[in-house]
Amino acid sequence: MMVTAEYYTQHWDSGYSGDTDELTAALERAEMIVDREIFLSGYSAAAVPDVLRDAVSRAVCAQAEFIIENGGVSALSETSDGSVSLGKFSYSGGAGTKGASAANLLCGQACALLEPTGLLFRGVSL
């Protein structure tokens, strides 16, 4: 694992007061999500060049924070269809597939940290 709980509390969120095991699990899952997004670059979060390591570490931290704020690792596998009903009014916002929660997607802050690195580029190289 690239980012440890110690790194997270020292360099990202020194005010984190939750369980270390929960944080470690969130960091592991966050790294998996970042890896999935940068896969086409030919790198993984743990194997990026040193010049990109800080940005990728911060992106993993941002993603872990997002996971924690959205219910933790256990919420990643919950099924949610995004439906709301109030009286005669009903709204459905999604198909409700397992694992399709917003916490499984790369959060905006992590994306913003990775964009300048070029690791998210999905175009064609000439």
Answer yes or no: is 45 within a domain: yes
Among 10-24, 35-49, 57-71, 112-126, the least confident range: 112-126
Answer yes or no: is 122 within a domain: no
Answer yes or no: is 102 within a domain: yes
d(CA 72, CA 11) in angstroms, rounded, equals 20
Answer yes or no: is 126 within a domain: no
Does the structure show a pLDDT above 90 at 14?
no
Whole domain around residue 15: which residue ranges? 5-117
Answer yes or no: is 44 within a domain: yes
Answer yes or no: is 19 within a domain: yes
User: Residue 91 gets which letter from DSSP?
Assistant: E
What's the predicted TM-score (pTM) here?
0.78
Cβ-proximal residues to 110 (8 Å cutoff; 6+ apart), any chain: 30, 33, 34, 59, 60, 62, 63, 66
User: Which tops the pLDDT comparison, 77 or 12?
Assistant: 12
Answer yes or no: is 30 within a domain: yes
Answer yes or no: is 124 within a domain: no
Contact predicate 37/113, CB 8 Å? no
Confidence band for 102, pLDDT divided at 50, 70 and 90 = low
d(CA 93, CA 74) in angstroms, rounded, equals 22
Number of domains the chain is built from = 1
CA 37 to chain centre: 10
User: Which tops the pLDDT comparison, 9 or 102?
Assistant: 9
